C-alpha cells in the first residue's frame, strides 16, 4: 500500500524490465533511466528525499573490478545520486556483503570506505543482515547522507 503524500519513481536501464513492471503495477511511476546518468534521464524532477538502491552499486562494483580495476562507475553513480538528492536527503543501499571486493574483506562496506566517506558523505546507519537463504549470505544495509552546502 502506498503511503499518503509519498511520490515514488522507479527506474531501470532495461526498457523490457520497465514494461514488465508497468504491466504488473500500472499505478506506479516507472521510467527507463540509467543510474549513472540520473540528471539527464530524470530532467525537471524535484530533488528526492530518499534514493533507494538494491543491487546497482553491487553491479557497478563487479563491472569495475572485472574490467577496469577501479571504482570509477560507482563514484560516478554516487555523484548522480548526490545530484538528484534533496538537501540532507538519504541514500539507502542494500548490498551483498561479500569479501570479494564489495565488502572489501572488512566489516565496513566498500561503498562506504572507498567511495562515499572520502567524498564527504555521512554514514547514518550500517547493519549487516543475515539472509534466510543460507548462513553465508549476508547483506549490508546502509543509510548514507550528504548535507549539502550552499554558497
**How does residue 136 score in pLDDT terms, banded at 50, 70 and 90?**
low
pLDDT at 81 over 50: yes
Identify the pLDDT of residue 40: 94
| Gap between the Cα atoms of 117 and 136, Å rounded | 27
pLDDT for 7: 83
- Contact of 11 with 31, CB cutoff 8 Å: yes
Check if the beta carbon of residue 140 is closer than 8 Å to that of residue 95: yes
d(CA 39, CA 141): 25
Q: pLDDT value at position 97?
A: 63
Structure confidence at residue 13 (pLDDT): 93
Q: Is the pTM of this model over 0.75?
A: yes
Amino acid at each position: 500500500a502506498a503511503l499518503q503524500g509519498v511520490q515514488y519513481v522507479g527506474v531501470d536501464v532495461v526498457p523490457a524490465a520497465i514494461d514488465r513492471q508497468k504491466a504488473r503495477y500500472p499505478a506506479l511511476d516507472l521510467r527507463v533511466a540509467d543510474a549513472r546518468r540520473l540528471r539527464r534521464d530524470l530532467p525537471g524532477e524535484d530533488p528526492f528525499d530518499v534514493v533507494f538502491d538494491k543491487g546497482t552499486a553491487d553491479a557497478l562494483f563487479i563491472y569495475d573490478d572485472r574490467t577496469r580495476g577501479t571504482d570509477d562507475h560507482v563514484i560516478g553513480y554516487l555523484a548522480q545520486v548526490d545530484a538528484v538528492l534533496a538537501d540532507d536527503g538519504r541514500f539507502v543501499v542494500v548490498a551483498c556483503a561479500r569479501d570479494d571486493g564489495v565488502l572489501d574483506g572488512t566489516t565496513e562496506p566498500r561503498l562506504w570506505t572507498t567511495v562515499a566517506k572520502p567524498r564527504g558523505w555521512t554514514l547514518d546507519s550500517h547493519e549487516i543482515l543475515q539472509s534466510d537463504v543460507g548462513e553465508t549470505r549476508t547483506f549490508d544495509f546502509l543509510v548514507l547522507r550528504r548535507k549539502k552546502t550552499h554558497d
